[in-house]
Chains A and B, each alone.
Chain A
Amino acid sequence: MTGTELQLLGCAKTFGGKTKALLPTDLVVKPGEILGLLGPSGCGKTTMLRIMAGLETPDAGGKVLFDDEDVTKVPIEHRSIGMVFQSYALFPNMSVRQNVGYGLKVRGIDGPERDGRVDEVMAFCRLEGLADRAIDQLSGGQRQRVALARAVAPRPRVLLLDEPLSALDAALRDTLRDELAMILRGLSMTAVFVTHDQSEAMAIADSIAVMKAGRIEQRAAPEVLYRDPQTDFVASFVGGANRLAGRFEDGELHLDGGTLKTGIEGNQPDHIFIRQEDIQISSPDVSALRGTVIGRVYLGTHTKLTIAGVSETPLVVSLQGATAPQIGEIVGLDIPATSLIHF
């Protein structure tokens, strides 16, 4: 892999002397790796990105390294990063070509060399034929690709993206997400992007750092994060897993809706998690767990059921196949002990 290794060493950020946006954090992004920073708003992911960019300085003691070079005190304009902003921040007084070429222009690269590089990057980001358009003549997806092309044209050491898809319509987002993933992979550039959408993180990233309240909860490849979450937060935020809370006794979890055999021995937790697609619906007569359907959303490939009366909070079940129970029906739930997630 080509690219720059990005390292944060003990980076923290405190705003106004008291608001701790980021607790001391160590992080390594390998050359060419695409890292997703995933978390709810206010978790510190954008602050971390801005520290990498040089738009914020870490609290004393924190260090930012590009390969072995300490860039902590290097301002953003000399750090050689490419950045895609949430609002895209395209220059409205310049054409698409001038936007994409701006980073080369301020570096004093002119004439055929600049034109050649701009054409190359625009072709790569599928912007052919748009060179002379004004920014306000572009669609949302095109704007996003112009922002990306502008950021990568000067060949930055690290590419940083702040919620690159959140300004788009929901209908467009899925298509453009896959397209962005493809372009980023083709660049083979060290990249870090911020998102609050777990499917976005999974689709684009090689590795995801899940953040909560200023710290990284877990850092792993998407499939590892989904199959083997290490904290409650990761289980519920990334996998959308259901929390089952009750009283443990001899390997059985006693819930409002019945008893669940867990097969857990020794150290017994007071709650466990189960993923939405690992719950099967069966007849209430034969099942040890029962609940009432209070919500039903048909989504084509699957049906999303909300079931009350099983645990403290309603359970969400993702059901394949056409025959899902109706609202108000009492159903039985089969939960295989092997699918349970506990810490």
Chain B
Amino acid sequence: MFIFFCFLPLIVFSLAFLALPLVRLFSASVEGELGWSIYGEILSNPRYMQSLLDTVLVSLAVTIAALLVATTAALFLTHNRFRGRSLLIASLTFPLAFPGVVIGFLMILLGGRQGLVNNISSNVFDTRLVFAYSMVGLFFGYLYFSIPRVLLTVMATAEKLDPALVEAARSLGAAPLQVLRDVTLPGLAPALIASGAIAFATAMGAFGTAFTLATDIDVLPMVIYTEFTLSANIAMACALSVLLGLVTWVLLMFARSLTGTSIAASG
């Protein structure tokens, strides 16, 4: 009985915030004119499929880039003590507080038509360089808010790694890259998987940045928004949302099982 009461909050949470909305979302998606064939309609619509593919690709690229940049930075920050280090770490986590809209602004200020990069390249090299309103702008915007998430998780794990592990590998003759491959990265693997999953899922569902940069971008959350507000096609918006959630979930499961087996195989 006591155990039941301990589980109660979890059950309530799962039902109210997880199961119920999802069930409702799914049922709303098949209540339109098309019924169940709405999913067939999505699969045969090149615009939807292209936008799904673009979303997955930009999210993957952001995840990989964020893991690379943040892991390098995290390892440096873990192994080096210098003046202003805590201030730097605090400011690196700054973007966490920004909504997507602000990050969109930042990208426009940086890579927009009146942006910093364009100003410099126009004046110095006499070429226009505008990337804010494209997938490239979106990539940098997402990267900007993904890095702090990965960085914090990886740093927390890196600080707990036994420094003797690295020393042991070196004492056995391992060069720095071998130490990284055989000792450091396997030690960080759980953190890399967890933070990579968060970065990927966040990028898949990010909306504010895409909305601000809008013009040439057709990521799935934008398509859902358009279907919902402009076309008032609620069933389609719901079906696309289900698809977005499902694809993200399947890809994360796949990544998890892939890394899981590779860790098991080396262990």
Contacts and interface: CB of A to CB of B under 8 A. Distances in A.
A194 B57 CA distance: 55
A106 interface: yes
A167 to B, nearest CB: 11
Contact of A87 (B162, B172, B186): B162
B174 A81 contact: no
B171 A151 contact: yes
A86 B172 CA distance: 16
Interface in A78-107: 78, 80-83, 85-87, 89-95, 98, 102-103, 106-107
A154 interface: yes
A94 B178 CA distance: 14
Given A89-B162, A91-B165, A93-B266, A78 B182 contact: no
A151 B173 CA distance: 11
Interface size class of A (residues with CB under 8 A): 20 to 34
B267 A95 contact: yes
B167 interface: yes
Interface string A146-174: 00001100100000000000000000000
Contact of A83 (B167, B182, B183, B263): B167
A103 B182 CA distance: 12
Interface in B162-188: 162, 164-165, 167-175, 178, 182-183, 186-187
Contacts, number: 73
A86 B173 contact: no
Given A91-B183, A93-B267, A106 B174 contact: yes
B188 to A, nearest CB: 11
A46 to B, nearest CB: 12
Contact of A76 (B162, B164, B170): B170
Given A94-B267, A95-B267, A89 B168 contact: yes
A285 interface: no
Given A93-B182, A102-B182, 12 more contacts: A77-B173, A77-B174, A80-B173, A81-B171, A85-B168, A91-B165, A91-B186, A92-B187, A93-B187, A106-B175, A134-B267, A154-B172
Interface of B: 162, 164-165, 167-175, 178, 182-183, 186-187, 189, 263, 266-267
